[in-house]
Amino acid sequence: MKKRIAILTGGTSSEREIALASAERVRSALSDHFDVLLYDLPKDMDKFLSEYRLIDAVVPVFHGRGGEDGAVQGFLRILGVPFIFSDVEAQAIAFNKPLAKTVVTQAGIITPDGKVIFDKVGIVYHNPVVVKPVDSGSSIGVSIVRNAADLDNALDIAFKESSGVLIEEFIKGDEYTVVVIETGSGASALPVIEIKPKTEFFDLKSKYDPSLCDEICPAPISDFLATELKTAALAAHRSIGARHISRSDFIVDKDCKVWFLEINTIPGMTANSLVPKALTVANINFGDLLALWIYSLI
């Protein structure tokens, strides 16, 4: 008899539709391995609460606040239901960008200088900066500010997404991302992906519209730089206590210095997402990988 696996997805964040698309891909990947049920929360919460005792493990597929910040993971801990991906603490650290930056710097990784603000009083523009919500994903609410006239509007956009805003030093360079996965032999980094957006930066539209961005895997870079990026991604994964999978984003400047931007503990898994691209190049079956993580828990 097949094990019964529940996919919890949806949520109420601004990334809800992306989460639903990721969940459908996860359901398709798991359908040969398990009896898969999908619950769209919060709509299906009562149904899940009436059935969770019959479920062997959960795959939480959320992007954004409420699902990628440790809240759902804490809920599952209370219910006593095993779940894949990172646990409560790692989810909470990764989702809070300044906190994640603080933690990974302890592992020797450099990251752009920044400060967190909770209102606009006394904020003065000095140099090009990146303005981003403290706790949001998919580049929602993020702006690159290159002149003083645009700062106020950028802050308004970011504050719509979060009560805290990170104003971060703008680092000019090339953008890369590295997926880390855990298998029976431990954590390993997948081939580096170079991200070349055709818009100003890798914003929400660029992430899910292939015509707006080139995502090259493996990245056409030297073995030395690829190793540096992979080493940094592995260090970030381990430093926050991530489990099963993470994806770290970096900028490499003109001096080939690697700058950590952020880490994602439930990265996008849609057909246009970065994780499937890296898995394909590494010749790793997505469904088999998910099954490996699930069987490690049950």
Span 247-293, pLDDT tens digits = 999 999 999 999 999 999 999 999 889 999 999 999 999 999 999 99
CATH of the domain at 123: 3.30.1490.20
Same-domain pairing of 98 and 179:
yes
**249 carries an active-site annotation:** yes
- Percent of the chain clearing pLDDT 70 (strictly above): 94
pLDDT of 177-205, one tens digit each? Answer: 999 999 988 999 999 999 998 666 555 55
Q: What is the pLDDT of residues 35-54, one digit of tens each?
A: 999 999 999 999 999 999 99
- What does the chain look like in DSSP terms, one character per residue? -PPEEEEEEE-SSTTHHHHHHHHHHHHHHHTTTSEEEEEEETTTHHHHHHHGGG-SEEEEE--STTTSSSHHHHHHHHHT--B-S--HHHHHHHHSHHHHHHHHHTTT-----EEEESS-TT----S-EEEEESS--TTTT-EEE-SGGGHHHHHHHHHTT-S-EEEEE---SEEEEEEEEEETTEEEEPPPEEEEESSSSS-HHHHH-GGGEEEESS-S--HHHHHHHHHHHHHHHHHTT--SEEEEEEEE-TT--EEEEEEESS---STTSHHHHHHHHTT--HHHHHHHHHHTT-
Shared domain check, 214 and 105:
yes
For residue 71, being part of any structural domain is answered with yes
Tell whether 23 is covered by a domain.
yes
Total domains in the chain come to: 3
What pLDDT, on the 0 to 100 scale, is given for residue 1?
80
37 in a structural domain? yes
The answer to whether 127 is a known catalytic residue is no
Does residue 93 surpass a pLDDT of 80?
yes
168 is catalytic: no
Q: Which of 15, 69, 168, 175 is catalytic?
A: 15
142 & 105 share domain? no
Q: Is residue 76 part of a domain?
A: yes
Least confidently predicted of 66-75, 134-143, 187-196: 134-143
277 found inside a domain: no
Examine the residue annotation and report whether 52 is marked as an active-site residue of this protein.
no
Look at the pTM and tell me if it is higher than 0.75: yes
* Structural domain contains residue 253: yes
Q: Domain of 78?
A: 4-84
